[in-house]
Amino acid sequence: MSDKLRDYIGGALMTSIGLATFFLSLGYDFGNLTRMGPGFFPVILGVALIIIGLCIGCVAYFRGVDKEHVTHTPLIIDYRGWGCIIASVISFIILSEYIGLIGSTFVSVFIACFGDKAAEIKRTLIFSVFMTGLSVLLFSIILKSPLPLLRLFHAEF
Instruction: Please give the pLDDT value at position 16.
Output: 92
* pLDDT value at 78 more than 70: yes
Residues 83 and 34 placed together within one structural domain of the fold: no
Mean pLDDT of 82-110: 89
* Neighbour count for residue 132 (Cβ, 10 Å): 20
Instruction: Identify the pLDDT of residue 101.
Output: 86
Q: Of 30, 48, 76, which one is at a domain's C-terminal end?
A: 76
Answer whether 135's CB lies under 8 Å from 105's CB.
yes
148, 102: one domain:
yes
125/64 same-domain check: no
Q: Which of 76, 111, 142 is the last residue of a domain?
A: 76
How many domains does the chain divide into? 2
Residue 1, pLDDT > 60, answer no
Most confident segment among 4-18, 22-36, 98-112: 98-112
pLDDT tens digits, 37-70:
888 888 888 889 899 989 888 888 887 655 555 5
Q: Which helix (H) or strand (E) holds 155?
A: strand 155-156
Q: Are residues 33 and 93 in the same domain?
A: no
What's the confidence (pLDDT) of residue 19? 92
Helix axes 79-113, 121-135, angle to 10 degrees: 70
Domain that holds residue 147: 78-157
Co-location of 14 and 40 in the same domain: yes
Q: Are residues 69 and 108 in the same domain?
A: no
- Among 34, 59, 76, the domain-final residue is 76
Average pLDDT score, the chain: 83
pLDDT of residue 153: 57
